[in-house]
Copies of this chain bind each other. A is one copy, B any other.
Amino acid sequence: MAKEITPRSEDYSQWYLDIVQKARLADNSPVRGCMVIKPHGFGIWERMRDALDAMFKETGHVNAYFPLFIPKSFLSKEAAHVEGFAKECAVVTHYRLKNDPNGGGVIVDPEAKLEEELIVRPTSETIIWNTYRDWIQSYRDLPLLINQWANVVRWEMRTRPFLRTAEFLWQEGHTAHASREEAVEETLMILDIYARFAEEWMAMPVIKGVKTANERFAGADDTYCIEALMQDGKALQAGTSHYLGQNFAKAFDVQFLNRENQQEYVYATSWGVSTRLIGGMIMTHSDDDGLVLPPKLAPIQVVIVPIPKPSPELMEAAEKIAGQLRAKGVRVKVDNDDQNRPGFKFAEYEMIGIPVRLGLGQRDIAANQVEVARRDTKEKSNVPLDTIADHVATLLDDIQQNLFERARNYRDEHITKADTWAEFVDILENKGGFVYAHWDGTSETEVAIKEQTKATIRCIPLGWDEEPGACILTGKPSEKRVLFAKAY
């Protein structure tokens, strides 16, 4: 049934594309690099968004909305930022079309040229800090804790659904603070929220760390990140939280009167996660039969399939079970399709990742039981009808937990120390995963390692034991090990 999916062992990259298509998560669009997020994929994103939104609000953040367009000149105001974001972006130059006088459909009206071109936001620091200048006068206006759910556009050359698309959906938090300490605390608090969300909702273990200068966000003093490990041994940056210092406040002249009655530039953070998380979720849990979804993010958690097909009696029994499950807050679908056979349906529900499938036939009802199949392990068991609701509720928790532990075991087995260059290269080429090795702290060495192995420093992990040593490439002194990996 799942033969349409390329096995992971054969071609992981094609397997990923097959999953995205066959699990009905996204489609290509006629616009280069832009995808259509299909209802099943968007249902997952809605659950991610709602869970994160609640976590942001619990910690005092509010949502707002800033313009899609950024005047071109804004991008130039922060020196590092322009280098990072001006290059590949969508530029609006005109505001009108007209009928082609030569009959060739519609053409851009040359008379409707904008005085200053507008950039479709690749990220919103510039327009937001230009606005904050009007909102912040005194320390009493701080902290300003604002988040935005939005679409952004970066004109990527090589795109891949969810992982790297020209347009993507994300949230971007932009906060303003009266002190460096408070801003750094915010940056780290958000990093904790991201890690908690990844592990508790996505069942995706992550390592919290700080980026090297090379990998920092354009305009940040420090970039913190959560890094996950995919099944093919490549790392995925799943979220970033930036301490921006006073860089944007200075670029946009945002000062406040502090408690000492003096003008001071405001301290900033920004942070974001995107629809890329869906790609990370796919590559953490799914298998050769299709998508595997953590129950907390599954739009449908349980499907009840009457076997061999719907009948009034089977549907009545199925609806009764569904009612019991819904009363426990479980999201249930009762399959009422009378066109396809059970085998076809089972494969289809496995393909789209429904965590639990209940099969209910005439003989099951006679035996007062139902067949329960879990998607993660493919195990089946017969469960008495009387206790089915409690059983399924517990099972969903078990699946969530099992997915996390399975992924964490895999990840932990793929963090390998290397102390020689030969070991380092061997691990990257043959085992994959994170390599925990010494680095002399220079950008030159970081670049040289990347050129020779394609591995980058994913992060300097936070709170791990530190031991001095010698750089894996140059042999120069190193204060502590850092995490290398090939990455998406």
Question: Which residues of A are in contact with B by a Cβ distance under 8 Å?
Answer: 27, 29-31, 34-39, 41-43, 45-46, 62-76, 82, 86-98, 105-106, 108, 117-120, 127, 130-131, 134, 140, 146, 150-151, 153, 155, 167, 169, 339
Contacts and interface: CB of A to CB of B under 8 A. Distances in A.
Contact of A71 (B31, B97, B118): B31
Given A31-B71, A42-B62, A90-B118, 20 more contacts: A30-B71, A31-B69, A34-B68, A38-B64, A39-B62, A39-B146, A42-B65, A43-B62, A43-B63, A46-B63, A69-B90, A87-B96, A87-B97, A88-B96, A90-B95, A91-B94, A92-B92, A92-B93, A92-B120, A93-B108
B105 A68 contact: no
A275 to B, nearest CB: 9
A153 B68 contact: yes
Contacts of A98: 86-87
A134 B119 CA distance: 32
Contacts of A118: 31, 90
Contacts of A339: 140
B106 A86 contact: yes
Nearest to A90: B92
A103 to B, nearest CB: 11
**Most chain B Cβ neighbours within 10 Å, of A45, A96, A146:** A96
Nearest to A100: B76
B91 A27 contact: no
The 10 closest A-B pairs by CB, nearest first: A34-B67, A39-B62, A37-B65, A91-B94, A76-B105, A95-B155, A86-B97, A93-B93, A90-B92, A31-B67
Given A94-B93, A106-B82, A42 B68 contact: no
A44 to B, nearest CB: 11
Contact of A167 (B30, B69, B74, B169): B69
A466 B73 CA distance: 59
A30 B105 CA distance: 33
Given A30-B71, A106-B76, A97 B89 contact: yes
30 contacts: A27-B131, A29-B131, A30-B71, A30-B74, A30-B127, A31-B71, A31-B127, A34-B69, A36-B64, A36-B66, A36-B67, A39-B62, A39-B146, A41-B64, A42-B62, A42-B65, A45-B65, A67-B167, A72-B105, A73-B105, A75-B97, A75-B106, A82-B106, A86-B106, A88-B95, A90-B95, A91-B97, A93-B94, A95-B155, A97-B119
Contacts of A35: 67
A73 to B, nearest CB: 6
A373 B349 CA distance: 55
Contacts of A69: 31, 34, 90, 167
Given A31-B71, A39-B62, A96 B106 contact: no
A341 to B, nearest CB: 15
A149 to B, nearest CB: 9
Contact of A93 (B65, B72, B91): B91
Given A71-B30, A339-B140, A42 B66 contact: no
Nearest to A153: B68
